């Protein structure tokens, strides 16, 4: 019985070795040194965000906590809209007894009538293609009363936001 187990293990090691060789055969080493290509994504970025009106009541940190059908756990969204036109957008799924998972984006925002338009320039620390429509999000302001703000995304998702302190961060 022990000899059979050893043979099975040797056979598995042999198959693993063959798989490794097959994969290694697929990899080719470059024969020439690649030349540096200009990063066009950086060149197309705006030099700076457009500052907002200092009196705009949406400037600040806005927090939403909600549950959605099909998602186990609470969705937390923190949107920071700064007077200089910069924004941060963090969304996190908080589940009991599990580490949080999330998305962190940064870029610019502008006010367009009764809407706030977020333009993501970095997602989870990496530059994005600014022309990709995935990274432009429009939120229509349905109601704002003091420290409460209700917005609706283009997909119809409604966010009930509450203004929080300037240094607030989502807990992990």
3-60 confidence digits (pLDDT tens): 444 443 344 333 333 333 333 333 333 444 444 444 444 444 455 899 999 999 999 9
Judged by average pLDDT, the poorest of 16-25, 57-66, 74-83 is 16-25
- Residue 108, pLDDT above cutoff 80: yes
Q: How many Cβ atoms sit within 10 Å of the Cβ of residue 107?
A: 23
- Model confidence at 112, in pLDDT bands (50, 70, 90)? very high
| Distance of alpha carbon 115 from alpha carbon 108, whole angstroms | 14
Say if pTM beats, i.e. exceeds, 0.75: no
Q: What is the pLDDT of residue 172?
A: 67
Question: What pLDDT score was predicted for residue 158?
Answer: 93
Q: What angle do CA 101, 103, 109 make, to 5 degrees?
A: 155
Among residues of the chain, what percentage have pLDDT more than 90?
56
d(Cα 101, Cα 90) in Å, to the nearest integer?
A: 11
The CA radius of gyration of the chain, in Å to the nearest whole number, is 24
The per-residue pLDDT for 54 is: 92
In the chain, the domains with their CATH numbers are: 48-164 (2.40.128.640)
């Amino acid at each position: 019985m022990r000899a059979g187990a050893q043979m099975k293990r040797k056979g598995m090691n042999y198959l693993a070795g063959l798989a490794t060789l097959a994969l290694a055969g697929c990899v080719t080493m470059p024969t020439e040194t690649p030349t540096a290509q200009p990063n066009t994504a950086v060149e197309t970025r705006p030099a700076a965000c457009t500052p907002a009106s200092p009196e705009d009541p949406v400037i600040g940190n806005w927090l939403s906590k909600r549950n959605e059908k099909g998602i186990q756990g609470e969705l937390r969204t923190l949107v920071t809209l700064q007077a200089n036109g910069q924004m941060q957008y963090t969304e996190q799924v908080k589940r009991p007894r599990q580490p949080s998972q999330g998305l962190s984006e940064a870029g610019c925002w502008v006010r367009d009538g009764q809407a706030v338009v977020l333009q993501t320039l970095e997602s989870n620390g990496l530059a994005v293609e600014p022309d990709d429509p995935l990274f432009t999000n429009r939120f229509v302001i349905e109601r704002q009363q003091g420290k409460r703000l209700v917005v609706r995304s283009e997909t119809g998702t409604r966010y009930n936001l509450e203004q929080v302190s300037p240094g607030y961060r989502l807990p992990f």
